Structure 1
Amino acid sequence: MIRFIRALLADFADLLFPTLCLGCTNSLGENEVILCTKCRISMPETNQHKEPYAADLLNKFAGKVPVRFLASYVYFTKGGLVQKLIHGIKYKGRKEVAKEVAGWYGYQLRLESNLIKEIDVLIGVPLHKSRFQQRGYNQADWIAEGLSEALNVPNRTDVLICKRFKESQTRKNRLERWENVKTVFSVENGLAIQDKNVAIVDDVITTGATIEACAVKLLEAGCKSVSVLTLAAVHQ
């Protein structure tokens, strides 16, 4: 009887407050999560995982830091579906979206690439403790956790830290972004990445300055190689 009442209340709540697609805001159907089927099919996938060593992808790091490969799940365009997803993740408390969508990407990587063989550890780009307290979570860690479960690769949150608060990168150019982040990260527990292939995980890659700063510290700490996986990449 208690189970029946709980189920009835849940159905009633769904009727009054239906779960909505984060893309089009229509009600989600049975077996639909985060996005309706139409929106999920329309996700602007990059397919970068099929050519993750391409020079045009790695050019942003050329001459700065050696990055083994780079792959992003979808393209980010202003006002588009992916921006709605990222906005929900970062500013509306929808951390479960980060993990779910990252799981979709991890499943795709397992089916369509061999990149899993080149990753020993996943590490999300860390937040400063003040930003973490403000947001309540680090979206990059939740993305890394989604990838971790799909790829069966460990996710470490105790290696890379943000030791100094950095200003928002949104309105800065490449040089300003680098100056803003070049000294904010450090490595603790470096033994966890000794001679390991590390994949840095983040939500969106733009100029790559933040990831570059993380990569420098990880390589200095003795990891074997650094690669990059992100949910989104700004469409050039």
Structure 2
Amino acid sequence: MFRFIHRLLSDFVNLIFPKLCLGCDRLIGVNERVLCSQCRLSLPETGQHRLATTSYVANQFAGKVPIQFATSYLYFKKGGVVQKLIHQIKYKGQKEAAKEIASWYGYQLKAESEMAKQIDVLIGVPLHKSRLSQRGYNQADWIAEGLAESLGVPAQADILIRERFNASQTRKNRLERWENVKTVFAVQNPATVKGKNVAVVDDVLTTGATIEACAIELLKAGCKSVGVITIAATHR
């Protein structure tokens, strides 16, 4: 009886507030989530988790900071469906979409790579408290939650903090981005990560400066290793 009533209520809500595909804005089916089947099947997957130690993403950190593995789910292209998805996730309140998409990748990682065995805890790149208050959520934490559920490892949002508010990275080059974030992050309680394999999680990787700064602090705090997982990555 309860399931019947719940189903009726869900159908009514969907009738009044129809769910649209975040990729093409068309109505999505009953069994579809976030994206319609067509948009999901056309996602530009990188496949980098199959060669994570030598992937394009991993090469972003070569010679800068020791990274155990690095991988991204999708290629990010200006004007493409992935940019639209990231915009919806970061600025339009679509935090559940972040979690859902991350879970898709998590299941793929678990089935096709050994990465899950190299992770003790997932940590989203933190927002400054003023930015968090403004946005209402940290999309990286929701991505970490989606990965946690599918990979079967915990996610923690209170280990790494952003101590200083810094300007947007969007229009900065690699050096400017590094200068902007190199003293921004800190580990609150080093004992929580000492000797652990940590994976830093974010939405998009461009130059890698932000994650590099996070990794340096985590390694200084005594982490055994640091890996990187992002939903998307730019590709030159």
TM-score, normalised via structure 2 length: 0.95
Distance change in 2, residues 1:12/1:109 (3 Å): same
Distance change in 2, residues 1:57/1:3 (3 Å): closer
CA distance in 1, matches of 2:3, 2:121: 42
2:169 alignment partner in structure 1: 169
Deviation at 1:185, TM superposition (A): 0.3
CA distance in 2, matches of 1:61, 1:14: 45
The letter for the 2-side match of 1:200 is: V
Kept in 1, the 8 Å contact 2:57–2:233? The answer is no
The letter for the 2-side match of 1:46 is: T
Q: In the alignment, does 2:35 pair up with 1:32?
A: no
Distance change in 2, residues 1:57/1:94 (3 Å): closer
Offset from partner CA, 1:66-114 (integer Å, 9 cap, x none): 1111100011111111111101110000100110000000000111111
1:63 alignment partner in structure 2: 63
Distance change in 2, residues 1:55/1:100 (3 Å): closer
CA distance in 1, matches of 2:4, 2:49: 46
Matches within 5 A, 1:1-236: 8=8, 10-54=10-54, 56-236=56-236
Offset from partner CA, 1:107-146 (integer Å, 9 cap, x none): 0011111111111111110000000000001000000011
Distance change in 2, residues 1:205/1:12 (3 Å): same
Question: SS of the residue aligned with 2:228?
Answer: strand
Offset from partner CA, 1:20-47 (integer Å, 9 cap, x none): 0000111011210000000000010000
Question: SS of the residue aligned with 1:53?
Answer: helix
CA distance in 2, matches of 1:68, 1:98: 24
CA distance in 2, matches of 1:2, 1:119: 39
Question: SS of the residue aligned with 2:49?
Answer: helix
- Mean alpha-carbon deviation: is it higher for 66-75 or for 2-11? 2-11
Distance change in 2, residues 1:62/1:87 (3 Å): same
TM-score, normalised via structure 1 length: 0.95
Unmatched segments (≥5 aa) in structure 1? none
Kept in 1, the 8 Å contact 2:55–2:70? The answer is no
Percentage identity across aligned positions? 67
Kept in 2, the 8 Å contact 1:158–1:189? The answer is no
CA distance in 2, matches of 1:103, 1:168: 28
- Mean alpha-carbon deviation: is it higher for 57-66 or for 161-170? 57-66
CA distance in 2, matches of 1:145, 1:131: 20
Distance change in 2, residues 1:103/1:3 (3 Å): closer
Offset from partner CA, 1:166-188 (integer Å, 9 cap, x none): 11000000000000000010001
Deviation at 1:5, TM superposition (A): 7.1
Kept in 1, the 8 Å contact 2:125–2:141? The answer is yes
CA distance in 2, matches of 1:160, 1:3: 41
CA-atom RMSD in angstroms: 1.7
Unmatched segments (≥5 aa) in structure 2? none
- Mean alpha-carbon deviation: is it higher for 7-16 or for 72-81? 7-16
Kept in 2, the 8 Å contact 1:23–1:39? The answer is yes
